[in-house]
């Protein structure tokens, strides 16, 4: 009897892991083949070799790019080196990269590990850059003032909070005022990879202001990119491992009401919003498992989606660019400016194309 019991428990355990393994592979969309979709006149951005994880373009065409992210479990070509913020002018024919100098007495450059970024421009045209960073596996939001003449970032403040424990991405609605996603997985412990495997959906989104911090949405299977519509009425959150983008209505009191989820056939990472048309541009991982591979032969693919009329019953979704990783590995973000597309990656290069 005892033996039978042990066998039954063993059997249930194995069934659990078998089912889990198949759902895990499905969540990672591990084996999708990528059919190539090319764009004319693509070139690499010179000077970016260690990732371009997040990008934000100002109205005047200046693009901020975070580079050198070191994420637990994922390859990095910048190993051991601090990350940087780069600047590129989308108006130039052959854009050059400038590394922004970081100034300010209270900022430790050596542990800078920039992740999601966002900008806020106030009435006086002062540009603030908010950067999620991970000094020593912690999560902070670093607030900088952009000084265009000097090509520098003046560090103003480090924001930390118990409701911001494992940040991924951020969208600013004021200099010290933002929505952010906590993916839950940016910590230096072995356990978390099991939690990814089990799909516990412990990620959430938080609203932060100096007076009030609260969770505004929860239960995500890896919350990733977050962004806001140009009119400020809707918030979009990418749920990476559930292959969904959630649309929320934003209220005057900053709470969010879910409107609808959209399903995709790919792992949706960053969302950028075209300030003119309101279209969403999404950097995606069509075969997510490969992003964790350290094998130089197994290259993670890249894919860029454009979503038009997201509030309509049937939004139009177009695959604008897709590539199996031979050219560009592991796209995370795609931004447009005047007919040009800039695609960033977790740890690889950045690609600049004409649409």
Ligand X SMILES: *[C@@H]1O[C@H](CO)[C@@H](O)[C@H](O)[C@H]1NC(C)=O
Q: Which residues are catalytic?
A: 115
| Minimum distance from residue 316 beta carbon to ligand X (Å) | 20
Nearer to ligand X, 69 or 97 (CB): 69
Residues 151-180 that bind ligand X (CB under 6 A): 168-169
Site string (298-337) toward ligand X, x via CB under 6 A:
--------------------------x-x-----xx----
Q: Is 116 in the site for ligand X (CB under 6 A)?
A: yes
Alpha carbons within 13 A on the beta-carbon side of 216:
27
In the list 8, 91, 189, 255, the residue contacting ligand X (rule: CB under 6 A) is: 255
CA 111 to chain centre: 20
Q: Which stretch binds ligand X (CB under 6 A): 86-94, 199-207, 263-271, 308-316?
A: 263-271
Of the candidates 298, 300, 294, 299, the one whose C-alpha atom is nearest the C-alpha of residue 332 is: 300
Q: Which stretch binds ligand X (CB under 6 A): 38-46, 147-155, 267-275, 308-316?
A: 267-275
Integer Cα distance of 157 and 145 in angstroms: 10
Q: Is 23 in the site for ligand X (CB under 6 A)?
A: no
Integer Cα distance of 237 and 205 in angstroms: 8
Tell the burial category of 155 from Cβ atoms under 10 Å away from its Cβ (0-12, 13-18, 19+). buried
Identify each DSSP E strand in 71-230 by its residue range.
84-89, 97-99, 101-103, 114-121, 127-133, 140-147, 152-159, 167-174, 177-182, 203-208, 213-220, 223-228
Sorted by sequence, the CB contacts under 8 Å of residue 8 that are 6+ apart come out as: none
Q: Quick one: CA dihedral 336, 280, 33, 200, positive or negative?
A: positive
| Minimum distance from residue 22 beta carbon to ligand X (Å) | 10
Q: Is 269 in the site for ligand X (CB under 6 A)?
A: yes
Q: Is 115 in the site for ligand X (CB under 6 A)?
A: yes
Of the candidates 354, 284, 239, the one whose C-alpha atom is nearest the C-alpha of residue 34 is: 284
Considering CB under 6 A, how many residues would be counted as binding ligand X? 26
Q: Is 133 in the site for ligand X (CB under 6 A)?
A: no
User: What is the token pair recorded at 314?
Assistant: 């049937």
Q: Which stretch binds ligand X (CB under 6 A): 3-11, 123-131, 264-272, 335-343?
A: 264-272
Q: Is 26 in the site for ligand X (CB under 6 A)?
A: yes
Q: Is 142 in the site for ligand X (CB under 6 A)?
A: no
Integer Cα distance of 228 and 174 in angstroms: 13
In the list 8, 22, 23, 31, the residue contacting ligand X (rule: CB under 6 A) is: 31
Direct distance between the N- and C-terminal alpha carbons of the chain, in angstroms, rounded to an integer = 69
In the list 68, 95, 225, 300, the residue contacting ligand X (rule: CB under 6 A) is: 225
Q: Which stretch binds ligand X (CB under 6 A): 25-33, 103-111, 144-152, 172-180?
A: 25-33
Q: Contact positions toward ligand X, by CB under 6 A? A: 26, 29, 31-32, 36, 53-54, 115-116, 168-169, 224-225, 243, 251, 253, 255, 265, 269-271, 324, 326, 332-333, 346
């Amino acid at each position: 009897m005892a033996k039978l019991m042990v066998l039954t428990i063993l059997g249930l355990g194995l069934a659990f892991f078998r089912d889990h393994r198949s759902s895990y592979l499905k969540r990672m969309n591990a084996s999708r083949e990528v059919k190539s979709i090319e764009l004319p006149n693509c070139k690499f951005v010179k000077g970016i070799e260690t990732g371009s994880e997040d990008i934000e373009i100002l109205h005047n065409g200046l693009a901020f790019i975070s580079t050198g992210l070191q994420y637990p479990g994922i390859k990095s070509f910048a190993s051991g080196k601090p990350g940087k913020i780069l600047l590129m002018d989308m108006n130039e024919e052959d854009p050059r990269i400038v590394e922004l100098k970081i100034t300010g007495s209270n900022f430790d450059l050596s542990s800078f590990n920039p992740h999601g970024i966002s900008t806020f421009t106030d009435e006086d045209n002062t540009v603030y850059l908010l950067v999620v960073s991970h000094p020593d596996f912690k999560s902070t939001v670093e607030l900088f003032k952009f000084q265009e003449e000097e090509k520098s970032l003046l560090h103003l403040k480090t924001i930390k909070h118990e409701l911001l424990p494992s940040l991924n991405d951020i969208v600013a609605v004021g200099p010290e005022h933002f929505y952010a996603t906590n993916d839950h997985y940016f910590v230096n412990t072995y356990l978390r990879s099991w939690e990814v495997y089990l799909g516990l959906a412990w990620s959430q989104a938080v609203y932060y202001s100096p007076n009030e911090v609260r969770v505004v949405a929860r239960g995500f299977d890896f919350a990733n990119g977050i962004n806001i519509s140009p009119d400020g009425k809707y918030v979009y959150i990418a749920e990476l491992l559930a292959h969904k983008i959630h649309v929320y209505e934003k209220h005057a009191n900053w709470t969010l009401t879910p409107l609808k989820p959209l399903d995709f056939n790919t792992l949706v990472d960053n969302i950028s919003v075209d300030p003119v048309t309101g279209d969403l541009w999404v950097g995606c991982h069509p075969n997510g498992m490969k992003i964790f591979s350290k094998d130089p032969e197994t290259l993670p693919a890249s894919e860029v989606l454009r979503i038009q009329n997201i509030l309509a019953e049937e939004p139009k979704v177009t695959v604008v660019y897709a590539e199996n990783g031979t050219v560009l590995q592991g796209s995370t973000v795609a931004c447009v400016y005047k007919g040009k597309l800039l695609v960033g990656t977790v740890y690889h290069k950045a690609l600049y194309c004409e649409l």
